[in-house]
Amino acid sequence: MERRVVITGLGAITPIGNDVNETWKSIENAKCGIDKITLFDTSTFKTTLAGEIKNYDSQKYFDAKQSKRLDRSSQIGIIAAREAMEDSGITKENTDFNNVGIFVSSGIAGLKTIQEQCEVNCLKGHNRVSPMFIPMTIANMPTGNVAIDLGLKGESLSIVTACASSTNAIGEAYRTIKHGYEDVVFAGGTESSICPIGIAGFENMKALSNSTDIERASIPFDKERNGFVMGEGAGILVLEDLEHAKKRNAKIYAEVIGYGASSDAYHITSPAPDADRSNKSF
């Protein structure tokens, strides 16, 4: 029998708040998270604005060893997942962690680390490349690191579908619980690619806004739009079988009642002009 799926926990760290409550208050107050890039020198770039997490100090959340071994994308993913877990009230006493999945996606994951270690390789030689280079950069490490940090032992999955990664992660988590494979899934995404190579790549393909007006840089539905604004952050939901949630008397934010995905096989960024989906049924 198919199961009903609900959302019982929220976690986030964003350019407008270092947790869910701060982020939501900022939304209510129409706070803009876009500002001048401070993570690197943009003097030779056309793009000077981005949505950076403000006042971020990794040592507030991790010890020195962890900070050194975790790419920023994994760090903020863990921070959001910790908040989601606390918010959900899930513990080893009320939930079997063998049946808790982790679907935390990232489009590019450790791009900042890739840039840093390539520079080390070029300037100091291959012997100086960090032994943690690969574990810090591969796209499934945010979900793996969340699993390790929280002790979750269910299915660990990272869906990489560019801008759709987090949506697909949440949708597949819904299906996984609906069909009885897991009782709970931590699902969402994390991204932190505001670095020279990341901005250069998007800038050179004419994808980024070169506006210097903070209030007019991200205007996706405006006729004056000239590109998107790079941002960073993480957002995690706790999805749960309804009966499991009721059994432990969890608070329920919402119910997920459907999910579908398709591809128009047309272009790497542009949608098909006729919006053809081959009449696919969801």
Percent of the chain with pLDDT over 90: 91
Residue 269 covered by a domain: no
pLDDT at 185 over 70: yes
- CATH number for the domain including 120? 3.40.47.10
Residue 263 covered by a domain: no
Burial annotation 191-229 (CB, 10 A radius, 16+ → b, else e): bbbbbbbbbeebbeeeebbebeeeeebbbeeeeeeebeb
Instruction: Calculate the alpha carbon distances from 231 to 183, 191, 239 in Å.
Output: 32, 8, 25
Instruction: Pick the closest to residue 100 from 232, 1, 248 (CA basis).
Output: 248
Q: What is the mean pLDDT of residues 142-165?
A: 96
- Angle at alpha carbon of residue 91, lines to 90 and 96, rounded to 5°: 95
Instruction: Pick the closest to residue 70 from 9, 144, 176, 5 (CA basis).
Output: 144
Instruction: Pick the closest to residue 7 from 241, 213, 219, 224 (CA basis).
Output: 241
What is the number of domains present in the chain?
1
Residue 30 covered by a domain: yes
pLDDT bucket at 176, cuts 50 / 70 / 90? very high
pLDDT, residue 279, reads 53
The predicted model scores a pTM of: 0.94
Range of the domain at 232: 5-256
pLDDT, residue 269, reads 79
Q: Residues 235-280: pLDDT tens digits?
A: 999 999 999 999 999 999 999 999 999 888 888 878 888 876 555 5
Residue 57 covered by a domain: yes
pLDDT, residue 124, reads 97
Contact 77, 190 (CB under 8 A): yes
Residue 126 covered by a domain: yes
pLDDT at 281 over 60: no
Residue 203 covered by a domain: yes
Q: Residues 53-94: pLDDT tens digits?
A: 999 999 999 999 999 999 999 999 999 999 999 999 999 999
State the average pLDDT for the chain.
94
Residue 184 covered by a domain: yes
pLDDT at 207 over 80: yes
User: What's the Rg (C-alpha) of the chain?
Assistant: 20
pLDDT, residue 262, reads 86
pLDDT, residue 280, reads 56
Q: What is the mean pLDDT of residues 166-192?
A: 97
pLDDT, residue 267, reads 87
pLDDT, residue 278, reads 55
Residue 277 covered by a domain: no
